[in-house]
A and B are shown apart, each in its own frame.
Chain A
Amino acid sequence: MFEPMTDVIPSFFAWINQGPLTLTLFLHSIIILPMFWIYRQEKTRLENESK
């Protein structure tokens, strides 16, 4: 899953592009996970408004 850095010039993007799984894990954790937080915030707000 986590491969050693083999690119000729080490960079952040080389690391996240080591394989499709690395890229998927990165994009999901950085983009999808915060959306759960947005979801929970909005849910709380709607619940408070409908009280």
Chain B
Amino acid sequence: MANKVSVWTDNRFWQRSAAWVTGFAAVLLIWLTFDTSAQISMGTDADLQNGVTKRVPGPTVINYKITYEMSAKRGHEVPIIGGNDGSGMSLFQEKEKFFGRDDYSEEEAGALLHLGKLGSQTKNCMNCHTLLGNGAYYAPDLTKSWLDPAWQDGGTMQAMTGKSTKEEAMAEFLQHPSTYPTHARMMPDLGITAEEAKGLVAFLKHMSSIDTNGFPRNFGKIQGAVNGK
């Protein structure tokens, strides 16, 4: 009969286990990194025209109408670009004027988004707001702010700013935020110019078209939480 041995107090067992777990986890994480890079790479204008659904659509998505609709299949709301085909997929057909135009080229739209991104970093929006899960919750989450009912036609923000379109109302608000009483915690004036505001609104419109797997959950439905009603 073999002598009783203790595997649990044996160094080699722990070394091999640790090497296996660490090595496998490393392989999994490196694979996950490449998988994620592919999924979050931005689409192109051709993708939009050919009806290819990308998690992050190309910059020319600002030419299209974007809505946020419940997908029964996925169990949460998804951004719908240019109309819904009835099964929760985008049709990429219905356009929407953005500052009077719906024919921005890929370069023009890309430049606008770039200006907006730099603007959001310069003015440090994340110091108070949340963008795609990064930032603070002192001020409303901006991930889907373009789709916030308060900014839609007939919403309070267009009436308050005296503008007749969503993008103009947003741009006006961004230039003079401390003029408009929105929340108890009002946004301070950050010296945003008209051109920067246009870029920022384009940046927000594009961000709302990103498929975030339903984040933030129940957007626009929780009273007093997301859109500050």
Q: Which residues of A contact B (CB under 8 A)?
A: 6-9, 11-13, 30-31, 34-35, 38-39, 42-43, 45-47, 50-51
Contact = CB atoms under 8 A, between A and B. Distances in A.
A45 to B, nearest CB: 8
A42 B7 CA distance: 7
Q: Is the interface of A mostly helix, strand, loop or mixed?
A: helix
Given A9-B55, A35-B17, A42-B10, A50 B5 contact: yes
A16 to B, nearest CB: 10
B57 to A, nearest CB: 11
Contacts, number: 54
Given A7-B213, A42-B10, A47-B5, 19 more contacts: A6-B75, A8-B74, A8-B211, A13-B32, A31-B20, A31-B24, A31-B25, A38-B13, A38-B16, A38-B17, A42-B7, A42-B12, A42-B13, A46-B5, A46-B7, A47-B3, A50-B5, A51-B2, A51-B3
